[in-house]
Structure formats: structure tokens, C-alpha cells
């Protein structure tokens, strides 16, 4: 079970690093440089896949960590 947690942790780190840089967009709120920040933009293709994988791996990480804690 610990090996599965380690693999999921590494995959989660890699998937998060592959995501588009949304932090720089959020940082432009202060300077007012991004008018499209609050527009509703849907993720498509690769971004949608990365977002879903991030969510799934995060849930798996939480569940396995909880199981190991309760053991």
C-alpha cells in the first residue's frame, strides 16, 4: 500500500507540473493586466484530461493516506 501511495504521489507531482500556469494569470489581478481572468473558459482536450487526472490522483492519494492512517 505504501508503494501505491509513493507512485500516486510522484504521478500527482508530475501532473500538477504539466498543468498550464494559471498562477501567473491570478497574479495579474493586482496589476489589472488580465481582463479575461474571470471569463468562463472551458477546458478542452489535453487540459481537461490533466484536470481530471489531477482530481482522480488527489482523491486516490487522500483515500490511501486515510487507509494507512487508520491501520
Q: Which one has a higher pLDDT value, 19 or 34?
A: 19
What's the whole-model pTM score? 0.70
> Residue 34's pLDDT is what?
54
User: pLDDT, tens digit, for every residue of 26-61?
Assistant: 555 566 555 555 566 677 788 888 989 999 999 999
Q: From CA 54, how far away is CA 31, in angstroms rounded? A: 30
- How sure is the predictor about 7, in pLDDT bands with cuts at 50, 70 and 90? very high
Show the domain range for 33.
2-70
Q: Cα dihedral sign for 57, 12, 53, 41? A: positive
Q: How many domains would you assign to the chain?
A: 1
Q: From CA 16, how far away is CA 66, in angstroms rounded? A: 21
Q: Which one has a higher pLDDT value, 24 or 64?
A: 64
Amino acid at each position: 500500500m505504501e508503494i501505491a501511495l509513493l507512485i500516486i504521489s510522484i504521478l500527482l507531482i508530475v501532473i500538477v507540473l504539466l498543468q498550464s500556469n494559471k498562477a501567473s494569470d491570478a497574479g495579474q489581478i493586482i496589476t489589472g493586466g488580465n481582463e479575461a481572468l474571470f471569463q468562463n473558459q472551458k477546458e478542452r482536450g489535453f487540459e481537461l484530461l490533466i484536470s481530471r487526472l489531477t482530481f482522480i490522483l488527489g482523491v486516490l492519494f487522500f483515500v490511501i493516506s486515510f487507509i494507512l492512517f487508520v491501520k
